Amino acid sequence: MTGSEVLKTRAGAFRHEHLDTVQSTNSELMQRARNGDPGALWLTASRQLSGRGRRGRGWMSERGNLYASLLLIDPAVQSQTGSLPLVAANAVERAIAASLPGLTRITSIKWPNDVLIEGRKVSGILLEAERLADGRLVVVIGIGVNVSICPDSAPYPVARLSDYAAGADASMLFARLFETMSEELAIWDKGAGVSHTVERWRRAAHGIGERITVNLPNAQVRGRFSGIDDDGMLRLETDEGTRMFAAGDVFFDN
Ligand code: BTN
């Protein structure tokens, strides 16, 4: 059996459901897991009424963009799930890059999992996890991609896919994402392949070597972004020495 046949078989293991309107594809899938859904389910929606972003922010969710979440149950032992944001970012970056024929190397990933086109955010990813009463771990990977509309006010530069690929649409992008996510999950292999995941992430990384500010809930730390370690933590060279971050919002100083 060739590698691609294996990947196709694995891709086929995921179900997909589309809804016109939902509060949040992430919240809907978390609720379904609590109600007994076995997982490996993609949910997409044409619009969300309460789309959520990271750090309690909202996510603009009008018709025209991609809103997709993937429900995984016990994707790996808990110690390995910290690298799932990198898996998701790799998958989204590849799906977007594949939607830009003829435009090479204009997509990148800003730590940990924002996907950029020419340095401007085109996609955000929100991972949420919860333990079920029976001890199983639910992980929901939520992905929003600006396909034909951009938020009006964002604290960072934004992009939309349709400015680079005429006729881009959410369902075409989702078909690519369905494949790339299956492939990146197979490479990650429940955490056993994390070194491959990290290596793939590094190849797409935005701004290694540049000066950044890491915004934390109660502090800002400045330094030079020198890369990520083998668990996906951000390495920052500050005047006081090297610091590692598991979470935070990164802004490039320029
Ligand atoms: C971010 O703040 O960058 C993450 C944004 C994640 C948005 C997506 S849209 C699909 C899924 N459902 C949600 O409510 N949020 C995520």
The pLDDT of residue 104 is 83
For the cut 70, the answer to whether the pLDDT of residue 8 exceeds it is no
Ligand 1 and 146: CB distance under 6 A: no
For 206-237, how does the pLDDT look when each residue is reduced to its tens digit (9 = 90+)?
999 999 999 999 999 999 999 999 889 999 99
Beta strands 41-48 and 15-22 are parallel
Tokens matching residue 183: 């492939």
For 176-198, how does the pLDDT look when each residue is reduced to its tens digit (9 = 90+)?
999 999 999 999 999 999 999 99
Ligand 1 and 113: CB distance under 6 A: no
Q: Which residue has the tokens 């996906």?
A: 232
Q: Which residues contact 165 (CB under 8 A, 6 or more apart)?
A: 99, 100, 101, 103
User: Which numbered atom of ligand 1 lies nearest the CA of 45?
Assistant: 10
Q: How far is the CA of 196 from the centre of ligand 1 (A)?
A: 26
Q: How far is the CA of 59 from the centre of ligand 1 (A)?
A: 6
Least confident range from 3-7, 134-138, 199-203: namely: 3-7
For 18-49, how does the pLDDT look when each residue is reduced to its tens digit (9 = 90+)?
999 999 999 999 999 999 999 999 999 999 99
CA-to-CA distance for 82 and 231, rounded, in angstroms?
A: 7
Q: Predicted confidence band at 4 (pLDDT cuts at 50, 70, 90)?
A: very low
Q: Predicted confidence band at 153 (pLDDT cuts at 50, 70, 90)?
A: confident
Q: Predicted confidence band at 12 (pLDDT cuts at 50, 70, 90)?
A: low
Pocket-testing residue among 46, 52, 55, 158, ligand 1, by greatest number of atoms within 8 A of Cβ: 52
Q: Which residues contact 21 (CB under 8 A, 6 or more apart)?
A: 45, 46, 47, 48, 49
For 54-76, how does the pLDDT look when each residue is reduced to its tens digit (9 = 90+)?
989 999 999 999 999 999 999 99
The pLDDT of residue 231 is 87
Ligand 1 and 52: CB distance under 6 A: yes
For the cut 60, the answer to whether the pLDDT of residue 114 exceeds it is yes
Q: Predicted confidence band at 9 (pLDDT cuts at 50, 70, 90)?
A: very low
The pLDDT of residue 160 is 97
Q: pLDDT averaged over the chain?
A: 93
Question: Average of pLDDT values for 235-245?
Answer: 98
Pocket-testing residue among 19, 21, 22, 26, ligand 1, by greatest number of atoms within 8 A of Cβ: 26
Ligand 1 and 85: CB distance under 6 A: no
